[in-house]
Amino acid sequence: MEIGDRLKRLRMINSLTQEELASRADLTKGYISQVENDATCPSIATLKDILDVFGVSMQEFFTAPAETEVVFGSDSRVQSTDDNNPVKVELLVPGAQNRELDPALVTLKPGAEMDLQDVHEGEEFGYLLRGRIEVCLDDKVYTVNQDECFLFASDRRHKVRNIGKGMAQILWVVTPPTFDY
């Protein structure tokens, strides 16, 4: 990756405009633009001034980012319930405790329901891949059909129940991660 690309990425991650970065580094917006477009190369002192704005050392900046896994096959899944349980939870991406969200595949046998979840921080999103379920939030009940989804803040007690005659399968995403391991 070029220096300009890396600097632009840092600027975007920190939600700064070129003008804001230039002001904080005591440079001009035009100069920041030239550096980001690799039209000019900053001196070591100038690069250090820019990196100081982000709180990043030269060593961190020039260390190649570790390759992270992007694609996860079915062999990567971690099943957090046993096969005899009427509610099967498969964690789709291992190591969710190091991430900001936790995707899972939840399969419920007919009539099965998840344990009541107490109030916690975050949000929950589910897409019903197949079946028909009820989502219970405190004292309100919502029916969700196949190809529909649900989204709610986790600040209410909640549970899900399969009300269909066949298996129900939900792609469920929780942030921050809360599924049991």
The percentage of residues in the chain with a pLDDT greater than 90, rounded to a whole number, is 69
Neighbours of 103 (CB within 10 A): 19
For residues 139-155, b (16+ Cβ closer than 10 Å) or e, as one string? eeeeebeeeeebeeebe
- Cα 68–Cα 48–Cα 28 angle in degrees, nearest 5: 105
How, if at all, do strands 140-145 and 102-108 pair? Answer: unpaired
CATH of domain 3-62: 1.10.260.40
Q: Please report which confidence band the pLDDT of residue 180 belongs to, taking 50, 70 and 90 as the band edges.
A: low
CA angle 164/168/169 to nearest 5° reads 160
Q: Where in the chain is the domain with CATH 2.60.120.10?
A: 74-175
Whole-angstrom distance, CA of residue 118 vs CA of residue 16: 38
What's the whole-number mean pLDDT along residues 121-129? 95
Separation between Cα atoms, residue 156 and residue 33, nearest integer Å: 47
Q: Is a pLDDT exceeding 70 seen at residue 179?
A: no
| Alpha carbon distance 72, 109 (integer Å) | 25
pLDDT tens-digit series, residues 46-79: 999 999 999 999 998 988 777 777 788 888 888 8
Q: Is the pLDDT of residue 92 over 60?
A: yes
CA torsion 25-28-33-34 (nearest 10°) is -100
- Give 10-24 pLDDT, tens digit per residue: 999 999 999 999 999
What local confidence, expressed as pLDDT, does residue 98 receive?
67
The secondary structure element, H or E, covering residue 108 is strand 102-108
What is the helix, strand, coil percentage profile of the chain, to 5? 25, 30, 45
Q: Look up the CATH number of domain 74-175.
A: 2.60.120.10
> What is the band of 82 on the pLDDT scale with cuts at 50, 70, 90?
confident
CATH 1.10.260.40, the chain: domain bounds: 3-62
